[in-house]
Structure formats: C-alpha cells, structure tokens
Amino acid sequence: MTNPENYIKVIKGDITKIKVDAIVNAANTHLAGGGGVDGAIHKAGGKTILEECREIIKRDGCCIPGNAVITNAGDLPAKYVIHAVGPVWQGGNSGEKTLLESAYLSSLRIAEKHGLKSVSFPNISTGVYSFPKEQAAVIAINTVKRFLENLDFEMNIIFVCFDDLNYSLYIRMLELMD
Ligand code: AR6
C-alpha cells in the first residue's frame, strides 16, 4: 500500500461499539478475560468468545506475550476479535518494546491471513500492564505504518483510545506523520 497514513485513523471511545472486521483485545496469556478492555469485550460480546478462548487454551496451553489469536465476536458489532497479549512493563530492559511490537504485528498478520479490511486496536499494555503511553504509541503507530506499507491490499486501521492522554498522544503523532 502507498501512503499508509491515509488508512490510519484515531478516535476516542469504547472499542466494543466499533463496527469493523476485527477489534483487537488486550488479553492475558490465559485468554481468561479480566479487567480493562478485555473485561469490556467479554461483557459486551457474551459467552461464545470465552468459549472459543478456552478451546484455544486447551489446544495450545497459553498465548505467550507478543502473540495473538482470533475468535468469534459474539454479540459485538465486529466480525472477529483478535486477542493480543502485550508485555507487562518491568522497567524497559526485559524485551518489552519488542514484545509490544510483536503483539501488534501478530494481530496484523492474522488480519492479513483472514483478508480483513478494517481492524481496530486499543492501546495495548498501557493500562493494567503499565507500559509508558508515549513509548507504546510510537511503537504502535510505527509498526502499523510499516506493516501497511508492505501489504498488497487495502486495510483500514482505527486506533481506539479510551483515555485523554493516549488520545492526545496519537493525535499529535499522527499529525506529525503528514
Ligand atoms: N475500549 C477501548 N479501550 C479501552 C477500553 C474500552 N472499552 N477499556 C479500557 N481501555 P488494559 P493491558 C484502554 O488494562 O494494559 C486485563 O485485565 C485502557 O484505557 O485493558 O494490556 C487483561 O485481562 C488502556 O489504555 O490492558 C490483562 O490481564 C488500554 O485499553 C491485562 O488487563 C489497555 O488497558 C492487560 O493489560
């Protein structure tokens, strides 16, 4: 794709309300549901999502940080949920940046494999997992941009920010890209 920035948007809101081919969840290694965006997705999507997560865990054992898996989206307006596991921030010297990049890339590769045309991301790892928001935003935007540059079909990406700081960081960084 040329000009990937034309396919990247940022909005402030609740990702469970977004009608896209797939929303990404900030999950944990057990795909067990939890708080934050994970809790909101399972609450709004209903039990079929957790049922499919349990089948995946039974088959694979766990979903390690940096990886992602896809499930149904239950009652959500999206068609699929891609569950990505970001790193827990431990000070920055434990491979957190690479793992966060990998969580975004794994999600994007799954979307590519399924031919998905629109994907929404939350700000993975910036809540309970405490990844510094500015560093996380740089990684998220650069990883998505590079991926789209090399993609041979058009995919729209929406960053759905829930808090004011993430929203203002993304707005600023995406304007800088122009
Ligand atoms: N829509 C969009 N973003 C949201 C929503 C929502 N409805 N709710 C929260 N956020 P977090 P993590 C934002 O904690 O840091 C869970 O318990 C939130 O403001 O959800 O990757 C899992 O089970 C923040 O910017 O995910 C894991 O155990 C961002 O989503 C653990 O938390 C990510 O915050 C994962 O921690």
Q: Measured in angstroms, how far is the CA atom of residue 5 from the centroid of ligand 1?
A: 25
Q: What share of the chain has pLDDT > 70, as a percent? A: 99
Kindly state the DSSP code that residue 26 receives in the 8-state scheme: E
Kindly report, residue by residue over 101-142, the tens digit of the pLDDT: 999 999 999 999 999 999 999 999 999 999 999 999 999 999
The structural domain count of the chain equals 1
pTM of the model: 0.98
The two three-digit tokens of residue 169, written as one number: 């960081």
In the predicted structure, residue 68 carries a pLDDT above the cut 70: yes
In the predicted structure, residue 177 carries a pLDDT above the cut 90: no
Ligand 1 pocket mutation pick from 15, 119, 162 by most atoms within 8 angstroms of CB: 162
Residue 38 a catalytic site member: yes
Q: Which residues of 131-145 are buried (b: 16+ CB within 10 A; e: fewer)?
A: bebebbbebbbebbb
Q: Whole-angstrom Cα distance, residue 123 to residue 131?
A: 10
Helices (H), 17-163: 36-45, 47-60, 96-113, 133-149
In 3D space, the residue among 37, 11, 36 whose CA is nearest the CA of residue 24 turns out to be 37
Closest C-alpha residue for ligand 1 atom 7 = 14
Q: Whole-angstrom Cα distance, residue 6 to residue 156?
A: 9
What CATH number is given to the structural domain containing 164? 3.40.220.10
In 3D space, the residue among 17, 19, 18, 36 whose CA is nearest the CA of residue 27 turns out to be 36
Under the banding of pLDDT at 50, 70 and 90, the label for residue 1 is confident
| Residue 89 belongs to domain spanning | 4-177
Closest C-alpha residue for ligand 1 atom 27 = 28
Q: What is the pLDDT of residue 175?
A: 87
